[in-house]
Amino acid sequence: DICFRVEALEDIDFWQVLIAERVKGKKVRFLPFVRMGEKRITGKSYIMKHSSQANPNYVLCVDSDFDYILGRENFDAEHYILQTYTYSWENHHCWGGALQAEWENWRDKTAFDFTAFLVALSTTIYETFVIMLTKKRLSHKGLTLDAMCNAIDSVQGNQKDLLQNNGEGVLQRIKINIDNLLERAGEEPAEELQVTIQRLEELGVTATNCYLYMQGHSIYNLVSRIGKALLNESFEYQVLRRSFSVDNSYSELNHIKADIRKVVRQG
């Protein structure tokens, strides 16, 4: 009855959880790639080539990346496109409310507060995040998403001495890396920065939640490394993966659920 084209195999679980209730009684298929001879073609760029073909029986499911923030045209449920609203689906596994609630089951092992850590991380990267988005919007060089991700990825969150006071040492090292980026980034006009900030505010992106809009792999991997250091290798599946649920409630997830109600008709 409905085919959902997703970016890759690992995306299926995320979308499956969200659409399950709406597709009861329907025959559903997920398409994570297309074969070209011996090669499997995956990814968002390939999926978006199908945007003109999308319809109630052929729905595209993609990561928002920065298309949502930058206002890509025809990138919405009206065109049978479901998107993550956060940068990618991995960010949804790091939503502080559910993650910390799941972690409460293990608090006897450590008093680490993931919500406090993620808020502090957002505050640490927000200024640079605004500058990076402004440069991207204006097609200016000097600071990229990859550079910001490297500033985060290079910090080893699995060192226990860095995890005292809710990861204070991790945050300090990330700040040093971020500050080094800013020194080399080059300035942008204040009025252009304000345009970016206003757009972010309209979307509900703030200095305390912008981690949801950073590349999902970087945030997910950082949280996973911290959790494994605090608990053990089971953290990713006992806590991080388990914290995601269709019953969670925050604006980015609620937007997806509203889109699914529009796109997937019951009956």
Q: Point out which residues pair with 60 in neighbouring strands.
A: 5, 81
Radius of gyration of the chain (CA): 19
pLDDT of residue 167: 96
213: nearest Cα among 70, 85, 73? 85
pLDDT of residue 109: 60
pLDDT in tens, 170-226: 999 999 999 999 999 989 999 999 999 999 999 999 999 999 999 999 999 999 999
Arithmetic mean of pLDDT, 42-68: 95
For 115, residues 6+ apart whose C-beta sits below 8 A from its C-beta are: 96, 97, 99, 100
pLDDT at residue 156 is higher than 60: yes
Percent of the chain with pLDDT strictly greater than 70 = 98
What is the C-alpha to C-alpha distance for residues 77 and 75, in angstroms, rounded to an integer?
7
pLDDT at residue 267 is higher than 60: no
Q: What is the mean pLDDT of the chain?
A: 94
135: nearest Cα among 145, 126, 150? 145
Q: Confidence band (pLDDT; 50, 70, 90) for 126?
A: very high
Token pair recorded at residue 242: 């388990």
pLDDT of residue 169: 97
112: nearest Cα among 157, 155, 165, 159? 165
Q: 37 in helix, strand or coil?
A: coil
Q: 90 in helix, strand or coil?
A: helix
